[in-house]
Every structure is written in C-alpha cells, then in structure tokens.
A and B are shown apart, each in its own frame.
Chain A
Amino acid sequence: MAVFPWHSRNRNYKAEFASCRLEAVPLEFGDYHPLKPITVTESKTKKVSRKGSTSSTSSSSSSSVVDPLSSVLDGTDPLSMFAASADPAALAATTDNSRKKRDRDDNSIVGSDFEPWASKRGEILARYTTTEKLSINLFMGSEKGKAGTAISAMSEKVRTRLEELDDFEEGSQKELLNLTQQDYVNRIEELNQSLKDAWASDQKVKALKIVIQCSKLLSDTSVIQFYPSKFVLITDILDTFGKLVYERIFSMCMDNHSILPDHFSPENVNDTAKETCLNWFFKIASIRELIPRFYVEASILKCNKFLSKTGISECLPRLTCMVRGIGDPLVSVYARAYLCRVGMEVAPHLKESLDKNFFDFLLTFKQIHGDTVQNQLVLQGVELPSYLPLYSPAMDWIFQCISYHAPEALLTEMMERCKKLANNALLLNSVMSAFRAEFIATRSMDFIGMIKECDESGFPKHLLFRSLGLNLALANPPESDRLQILNEAWKVITKLKNPQDYINCAEVWVEYTCKHFTIKKQEITPHPTLKPPILSSQSQPWKLKKREVNTVLADVIKHMTPDRAFEDSYPQLQSIIKKVIAHFHDFSVLFSVEKFLPFLDMFQKESVRVEVCKCIMEVFIKHQQEPTKDPVILNALLHICKTMHDSVNALTLEDEKRMLAYLINGFIKMVSFGRDFEQQLSFYVEARSMFCNLEPVLVQLIHSVNRLAMETRKVMKGNHSRKTAAFVRACVAYCFITIPSLVGIFTRLNLYLHSGQVALANQCLSQEHGTLLFRDICRASAHNRQQWGSSADAFFKAAISLVPEVPKMINIDGKMRPSESFLLEFLCNFFSTLLIVPDHPEHGVLFLVRELLNVIQDYTWEDNSDEKIRIYTCVLHLLSAMSQETYLYHVDKVDSNDSLYGGDSKFLAENNKLCETVMAQILEHLKTLAKDEALKRQSSLGLSFFNSILAHGDLRSNRLNQLSVNLWHLAQRHGCADTRTMVKTLEYIKKRSKHPDMGHLTELALRLPLQTRT
C-alpha cells in the first residue's frame, strides 16, 4: 500500500468553541421556566393556563412566591399548621394532653426507657460461668407411677427400646452427669427445641412435661456459681412455652371471620378456648412440686386474660406469696425476679406485687447468713464474697422493675429499709444498679458513707464503688461535692490490692473524673465580677481541670505496673483510654496531661497497642477541626502513627493496612505550618522516612507535596522568585525520588504524570524556555542540565520508560484483570499533557512523543487486540493538534512548541513524517484483519480511522480524500457495519459541508455510497 501523506486540518479553536456553545436566549417575562419562581397574582376570575403549575387558581391573594411543591397541597401543609398553632397556651394544652395520654399508656405498656430483660441476658451468661461439671436429671412421667410393671418381659424390652428412641416417653428417666458448661447449654437448647417440636406435633402433654422437668432443674443449687446462667437458660424455655400456650388459645378464639383484637375482654373469648385455658391451669395446679408449679404457672400468667379481667391481678399476689415457700434464698430471689419479669411484661401497672416481692425479700434477707446457706457454701467450697454477687442479677432486676417510673418517696423508703438491715452491701449494690442515676448521684456522699460502713467480709466493696461510679458517670452529683466524692472514692479504690478489682473500679471512676473535671472550651467563660488577665482566664481552668485526670492516670499506672499486672487488664485499660479521649477533644490539652503518654506505654502487647493507637487517631480525625502545627500534638501523634506503621509486616491483612494508612493520612492532612512552607516540606520528608511501608501514605505525601508546590505558585501568583523556584524544585525532587519506591504500576504512572504536570505548572523545565526563543535553545547551559532530575521532562521520561513494565494482567481488588484498557486510558491522558510540553533543545523534535511511540511499538500487546491501533489513532490526534498554529491550551508562563517553533516548516515536516509512519502502521494493521473472524474488527476500526481523518485531516488533500473513501468502503465491505451509524455519519458530513470552508465535503459525501440491506 502506498504511503499516504498526512495533512492536518487547520483549526480555529476559538471559533469552534464559540460555534459549539448553546445560544443564550433571553427569557420573555411571561415565558415558562421551571426554575423561575412562580408568582401568583390575584387571579380568581382570570384563569391563567400555565404549563406545569397546578396552582394557577390558588386562592392565595398575596403575591408571594409559591413553591410548586407546597402548592400541590391544598391549604396549609400540616407542619406549618402545627407551627402556626404553637402559641404557648395551645402548646401547653397539647403537651398536657399528651402527658396524660402517656401516663395512661404507662399503665399498660412499658416504655422504651425500661431496659429489657433481653439486654441483661447476655451479660449474665457471660459473667456467671463455671468450670465444674454439671448434671441434668430429667425424670418423665412420675404421675403414672409403676402402672405398667406387670407386662411380659418381651414387651418390656420393646418398651425400653422405644424409650431410647424417645427420651420423653412415660416413665423414662435420664440423668446426664459430668457435663461441661457448654454441654449443659447445648442440652438445654435441645430441650427447648424438643419442646417446640413436641408442640408442633400436637404432643401437648409431652411439652408440658419438658417444661416441668426443666423448671425442676431450678431447684437444684449444686454448682451454685452457675445458677444465674442456668436461670437465664431455663427461663428462656419457659418463655417459649408461655408464648406457645398463649398463641394457641388465642388462635382458638378466632372464628372463621373475625380475629380477636389485641385488647380483648374475656367476654369475647369463646367457651372452647376458655375451657382449654382452664384445663391448662388445672393441670398446672396439680403439679406436685412447688418450684415447677410456680414457674409453669408464672410462665402462662398472660393466659389469665382469657378467663377474667381480674385474673392477673388475683394471680400475681398469690404467686408472690407462693414464693415464700421456697426455702433457699437464692432460688427464691430468682423466682421473684422471674415473677417480676413476667409481671412487667403482662401487667406493668400492678406495682403492688412488685413492691411485695421486694419487701418479702427483705424479710427473708437474714436467711443468707443462716446455717442452712452457710453449710451449703462450706460444702461447695464457695466463699461469701463470691456467693453474694450471685444475687445481683435477680435483685437488680427486681429493683429495676420497682424503681421504673417510681415516685421519689418509694425509692427513699426502699433505701431506708435497706439501710436498716445488717450486712446490707448486697442491697446497696442493687439499689445503685437499678435506681435512677440522678437519684443516686444527688445522694452520692450518703452512699459513700454507707459503703464505708459495710462489713469487709461480705459483698466485695470494689463492686459497690463500681456501681456508684457507673451512676456518677451518667448523672451529675451536686457541684460542690464533686471533688470530695472523687477523693473519698479514690481513697478506697487506691487501697484495693487485687489489680483486677482495682482496674474494674478505676475504669468506671476514670469516666467520672473525665466527665466532671474536664471542661469543653466553650464552657470557659471569664468570671463576671473579676476581670483577670486574659492569660489566666483561658489557661488556668484547663490546668486546674486536667490535674485530676492526670492524678488518676498516674495512680492507675502505679497499680498496674508491678508484676506487669496490665497484661491481664488490657480491655479495661483500653476502655480507660477511650473514655479519656472521648472527653478531651483538644489534643494539645490531652497530650499535655503528663501521664497520658506514660499510660500508653502500658500497652505492651503489639496488637493492643495498635488498637489503642487506632482509637486515638480516629478520635483525632473526627474532632480535630483545624490543621495544626502544635509541636506537642505533632510529636505525640507521629509517635502513635509510627507505632501503627511499625506493626505492619508481611502477614498484615490488606484491610488492616488500608485502615492504618487511612488513619495516618488523616493525620498528615491535618498538619499545616501555615505559610512556613519549608517547615511543611521538612515535615513531609520526615513523614516519608517514617511511613515508608505503607504505599497509600507515600501516595498521600506525594499529593501533599504537589499541593504544596501549587500553593507556593498561588502565593507567588505564578512568578517564582529565586527562592521559591528553588523550593518548588525541592518539592518536585521529593516526588521524583519518592515515586520509584511505590509498587503499584499505575499508581506510579499516574503520579509521574501528575507530578510532571505540577512541575510544568511551576515552570520546572530542564531549560528556561520562558524567555528563550527557538534559536537560543541550542545554547542551553550546563547548569540547566544538572537540574534534569527536577524537571517536568524527567517525570515524563520516567513514565515513558515505565510503560514497557506494565504487566498484561494486574490485580484489582483481588481479581486479575487485563491491564490494556487501563494503559489506554493512561496514555490518552498522557498525550493530552504531551501537547504542551516544550521540546528539549538537546533532543530531537518531538523527542518525548517519539520515545513514547517506540515504547508502544515494542510493547507486547495482546494478540487479537486493537488497542495498539487505537493508541496510534490517538497519537494521530495529538500530532494534528501539535501542528496547529496556536494550541488548544497552554500552561501559564510555559511556552509550548507552538510559540517555540512558531510554525517552523521543518517542525511541521517532522510532524507530518511521524503522522505518515503512524498511518502506515494503522493501515498495515487493517490489512492483517482481512480474515474471516476479524472482519468485524476491521470494519469498526476502519470506521473509527475514517472518523479521525474526518475530524483532524484536511480532506482537500486528494490522497487523504481517496483514503477516506477507501476506508468507507472497507467499513461496509463485508456487511459488518451498523447501517444506522453509517447513515448518521453521512448525515453529519452533509451537515458539515454547509459550513464555510467545508464545501469540499459535499463532493466527498457524494462519493460515499450507503450499502443497501439487500
């Protein structure tokens, strides 16, 4: 094929731009425009037909602006109506009403402010555990006795075999011994499942037996440490049972057509349902043993609703009394807790029963110290201080139920009653756990007094202080007492010998200290009467307030350091840190707390230390509003970030690395030395040496440095002085040195390009084109060559030399993908920049483009891929743009080739020669596609080349004209072309031909036949 010469079309970018622009049409006053405010004038008689506005006949007589959205609503919208009626009197009335309503609701439904049992469950299961062996003894079918003993041996055998198949058949007994806690939990879960199965298969009797046997397990107090958890597990089964029975009876009430409403009355219940319900109660009333009878009846308490209106209110007090028959105080208190739980669910308004449970419990309180209990403890080898806390979950629950929305007087009475009893630490603890925090907080000093008086041998004191601390973290004690409270409490806490006890307590009190002895910035207001010097009014309160926190932290360090006690308490220590940083949003203050950093040193296990560092950084990123240069913050955070960075090793997960990098980047972005750019750069230098293992951080640093260079340019308004020019070159050098240490190939490529653009914008070229003309360039000084390393060309050259290294497949989000499309994208981007990069005097014309073309030529492209040709087409576009007299865009203060060469004919000739080579390549490739399977590709590639010529070539040239006609035919030759596209293209050509200077296209259009479908 002959070589086709290339003739670029001359472009007048300005004119093209102007012709592409949409014409601005002024809007007439009456014309409709969607963004124009709709003005409604009084128009009741005159109908204005305005498209899109539905409010044309709005009754609004004002000429105010009406929003089309609000105009849809006929009349006032409900929200503004509400606002309008919000005059004080009306408001008071409504709130009054709603309060009354709420009060009424309170009686029947427990509000969301009541902490539900479900939230306690997990905590109890986690806290009350045992390593001792447990047993489950299930004995089914005691009622029948030995009725079937006189059967033949044969049938007996069959019977036992059947029993083995079904554990819960009559007369089977099963004792499971030596269960670990997990086994036990699993068994109970199995029982729960078999209960559901039995129920589903209509074996109601079996279901009842399972429930009875399960509740019987609650009378067993062996392995007493596990009792609270056992209670949780078994009451789950009871809850299931209660629900099943209720739902079944409820479903029986449904007639064919009507469903019983939620708040039904017993009259609506039909006789069959009533009879079934009654039957359940009769069956349960005949259960021989007290504890199962109690629990099972309590579990179906709700079913009383079917029988009579007063059923529940009669039943609850009776069940409350029934608990008195339970001798073991622990078993009985849990029975009461269950009753309160069911009671709160079914009838929260029956407060009397709750109170009665509480007072009954107080009456039996002395039993705990009685012989029976003491003997049992000796037998099981359990000490009193570990026995008493077993009561807490049940008591806390009972206390919580009672104190819910309870009047102050009742709480006071309860507290007084508790005070009177001897050894009341246990009660005191529950009072503190369950009562409103405000109630406790206002009486903090009383409580401290009471705690001090408690017997040392009983309930552990540190638990009491912990409970008190929890309240004080939620509610505010009287202002005047705050310091005294802390002093009194800490006096006791600091004396705790066991590090575990100590830290559990300290953890809670740290929050108190942080909450009440730190203040937010806005709270600092100068004293109204005094006018102290500004310095003391601002810094003094801070100093004063952080003192307590510092003292507390120091004390924790003192306690936890001996014998490396901190190793066992990382969770608590971590929580302390979290509490502290939650209250210190100003990091300069935080780091000036002397003991804060020494405290961090206690986290010696790397994973924990990194966790803590992450927390701190998260809070910093969240709360640091303004960039900082505070040396205290910088030093501390650099240290923290370094810790995070140094934890990265070969085994670190990608996600973890990403997280760490995100946090470190957040910090880097927050560091600013203001106008001190040199300091800023040296910070980036330091950061680079510290965080070299995290690629995203390096990327961030490069971007930051580039930004710094651009900032400098902005400050200098584009005219660098000798000093700033040197500084900018330093920035550029920084990037140039840093990029090669990155791994990601496209990261490197894009950063080279980006940094190159920044260098270009800052006139960092290998020579000072700005003032030189083409002739002078030949005399480029040696000095300029030395700075090669910090010039834009260097970046572009580096990028070009990197292209051959691009692998065919790259890993993107864990998947291998072909890289060609990414490379194409990058190269196109690159070409756009190359347009404005001026040539280097020591290299030939268009040396960067030439080098890039060589690289593209040598790159091993995928077989059967046209990417290379697509790139060549783009190169053709680039070269066409380069041959224009004035380029499409420029960088300020950088002379591009257009002004350097000034349309020199030699330059243009070189350019055209390059074009010819590229075109030859394209045509060569098109020829190779003449095979069957490639025809489609040939067609589309041909068309795209045709389009390129159309857009960039000068079709007045005969050869080019002929080529385009050939390409048109080629595209259609094998019927592979999309007819619609061809038609559109032809239409476009015809349209273009009407433009001035484009007349020659008319002739071309005539030479382009459209292939008919036949």
Chain B
Amino acid sequence: MGTALDIKVKRANKVYHAGYTLRCDMRRSLLAKDLTKTCEFIVHSAPQKRKLTPSPVAFTVTPETLQNVKERALLPKFLIRGHLNSTNCVITQPLTGELVVESSEAAIKSIELQLVRVETCGCAEGYARDATEIQNIQIADGDVCRGLSVPIYMVFPRLFTCPTLETTNFKVEFEVNIVVLLHPEHLITENFPLKLCRM
C-alpha cells in the first residue's frame, strides 16, 4: 500500500534534557497524512556489582606546592586546605568535600570546580587524548571569610557523564580541578582524577 516506516535515533545532548531521541515516521499513501512520533530516552550502562571503597583525599595549597610557576616570589602568600570525601564516586551521588581558606594576602575572586572528561584513543602509532570541560561550578564568589569551611558540592551532569571506562584502546576518564582565582590575575588549579561508577 505504499506505507513505509522509518526509525531514526539521534543523539542530542546540547539541550537541557534529552539523551537520545527516537523518531518514528510512517509515510502513508497520498490520501492520508504521514504519522510521526518522537520519544526521548537516556542510555545507562548496567550498574556494577562490586563494592565502592571510599577514598578520601586531603589537600593543602600554598605558593610552595605549586608547579608551573614562573616567578614564585611574586606570588601572594596563601594557605588553602581542604579535602574531598572520596575520589571514587557513584555517578548518581554528588561529589562532596570541604575547602578552607586559612589565609590569603590577596583577595579571592572566585573558587570553582571544573569537571573534565578525558577521552583517550589508543592505536599502534600511539594515542590521542582529548580533554573536555563538561561542567564548571562556582563554590565561592568573592573574598570568602578566612577560616570558614566552604562546602565542595557538585552534582554530576546526567547527560555528560558515564562510569569511568577503560578498555585496551579506548578510555573515558573524569577529573575535577579546583580552581582558585585571586586578585588581580592569579589562577591556581589543583587536579584530582575521579573514578565514576554506577551502583
């Protein structure tokens, strides 16, 4: 009867909510209108069976602990301490921790959490590594009170994260950078690799 059925699956993650869309078009004869139906769905990998062991990390940042500094003497003095409750994270649970600016000569502009996805493709000639910022969350705005702990809290974006994946020639990994911006133009970054899993 000249009726055709098309099913298209399209990935669309730039919009606010949608994982994949499933679109079904039914073409019909001249006298009848075509029918269309779209449906959204999100693909999850299967939960893992193993038990998650919490792995807390404490950190201290001072001018001395920094690498990549050209002129250490020009840096204002500061002491930032903190901890992440765990770098092994359940993807549905937020990343948590605390950060304390114990002291800082320069005024603080902003403190941010930067979530980075690192995709690595390996082959005979070597490997290609591609790091993308997938979320940036500000946890402190302005010159925060000294000695008062600021919570570290970040929800993993549903559409941009997946459990950490490691195969022989393909890897998807996640990292979080704690970025401290000081007045006038200082940027301090502390990097923590994460291990995400779905329980």
Contacts and interface: CB of A to CB of B under 8 A. Distances in A.
A326 B141 contact: yes
Interface string A280-292: 0011011011110
B161 to A, nearest CB: 11
Interface stretch (B30-38, B147-155, B170-178, B188-196): B147-155
A288 B138 contact: yes
Contacts of A325: 111, 138-141, 144, 150-151
Interface string A365-387: 01100111000000000000000
B17 interface: yes
A321 to B, nearest CB: 4
A363 interface: yes
Contacts of B145: 324, 327, 329, 363-364, 366-367
Nearest to A144: B14
B143 interface: yes
A219 B110 CA distance: 12
Contacts of B16: 205, 279, 283
B138 A324 contact: no
B157 to A, nearest CB: 6
B141 A327 contact: yes
A219 B157 contact: no
A283 B145 CA distance: 28
Given A289-B138, A290-B138, A367-B145, A321 B108 contact: no
Nearest to B101: A327
Contact of B17 (A279, A293, A318, A360): A279
A364 B108 CA distance: 15
A325 B138 CA distance: 9
A213 to B, nearest CB: 16
A288 B137 contact: yes
Given A283-B16, A286-B135, A288-B138, A324 B153 contact: no
B136 interface: yes
A289 B158 CA distance: 19
Q: Which of A326, A329, A360 lies at the interface centre, i.e. has the most chain B CB atoms within 10 A of its CB?
A: A326
Given A282-B155, A283-B16, A327 B139 contact: no
B145 to A, nearest CB: 4
B107 A282 contact: no
B150 A324 contact: yes
The 3 closest A-B pairs by CB, nearest first: A327-B142, A325-B140, A285-B155
Given A283-B16, A324-B151, A325-B151, A219 B141 contact: yes
A869 interface: no
Given A286-B157, A327-B145, A370-B143, 6 more contacts: A282-B17, A282-B157, A286-B137, A288-B138, A291-B141, A321-B151
A367 B138 CA distance: 21
B80 to A, nearest CB: 13
A328 B142 contact: yes
Contacts of B155: 282, 285-286
Contacts of A360: 148
Contacts of A329: 145
A371 to B, nearest CB: 8
A290 B151 contact: no
Contacts of A282: 17, 155, 157-158
A331 interface: yes
A66 interface: no
10 contacts: A285-B94, A318-B153, A324-B151, A327-B141, A328-B143, A329-B145, A331-B142, A363-B145, A364-B148, A372-B142
B104 to A, nearest CB: 11
A322 interface: yes
B108 A327 contact: yes
B148 A324 contact: yes
Interface in A289-328: 289-291, 293, 318, 321-322, 324-328
Contacts of B143: 327-328, 367, 370, 372
Contacts of A144: 14
A294 B17 CA distance: 21
A329 B146 CA distance: 12
B40 to A, nearest CB: 11
A275 to B, nearest CB: 9
A916 to B, nearest CB: 102
B160 to A, nearest CB: 9
Nearest to B141: A290
Contacts of A367: 143, 145
Contact of B107 (A219, A318, A372): A372
**Looking at B108, B135, B136, B137, which has the most chain A CB atoms within 10 Å of its CB?**
B137
Contact of A289 (B141, B148, B157): B141
Contacts of A290: 138-141
Contacts of A219: 141-142
Contacts of B138: 288-290, 293, 325
Interface in B76-117: 94, 107-108, 111
Contacts of B17: 279, 282-283
A370 B145 CA distance: 10
Contact of B140 (A283, A327, A363, A371): A327
Most chain A beta carbons < 10 A, residue from B14, B94, B111, B141: B141
A897 B82 CA distance: 116
Contacts of A147: 14
Contacts of A288: 136-138
A367 B108 CA distance: 13
Nearest to B111: A325
A215 to B, nearest CB: 12
Contacts of A291: 141
Interface string B1-26: 00000000000001011000000000
A654 to B, nearest CB: 61
Given A290-B140, A327-B143, A372-B143, A363 B153 contact: no
A281 to B, nearest CB: 8
Contacts of A326: 140-142, 144
Interface string A249-290: 000000000000000000000000000000100110110111
B59 to A, nearest CB: 17
Contacts of A286: 135, 137, 155, 157
Contacts of A372: 107, 142-143
A326 B108 CA distance: 11
Contacts of B150: 321, 324-325
A327 B144 contact: yes
Contacts of B144: 324-327
Contacts of B137: 286, 288, 293
Contacts of B141: 219, 289-291, 325-328
Interface in A331-375: 331, 360, 363-364, 366-367, 370-372
A669 to B, nearest CB: 68
Nearest to B155: A285
Nearest to A289: B138
Nearest to B94: A285
Contacts of B108: 327
A363 B149 CA distance: 11
A318 B136 contact: no
A331 B143 CA distance: 12
Contacts of B149: 324
A327 B140 CA distance: 7
Count chain B CB atoms within 10 A of each CB in A282, A325, A326, A331 and give the residue with the most. Answer: A325
Contacts of A331: 142
Interface in B122-139: 135-139
Contacts of A364: 145, 148
Contacts of B148: 324, 360, 363-364
Contacts of B158: 282
Nearest to A283: B16
A331 B155 CA distance: 24
Contacts of B94: 285
Nearest to B134: A286
A478 B145 CA distance: 42
Nearest to B139: A325
B1 to A, nearest CB: 36
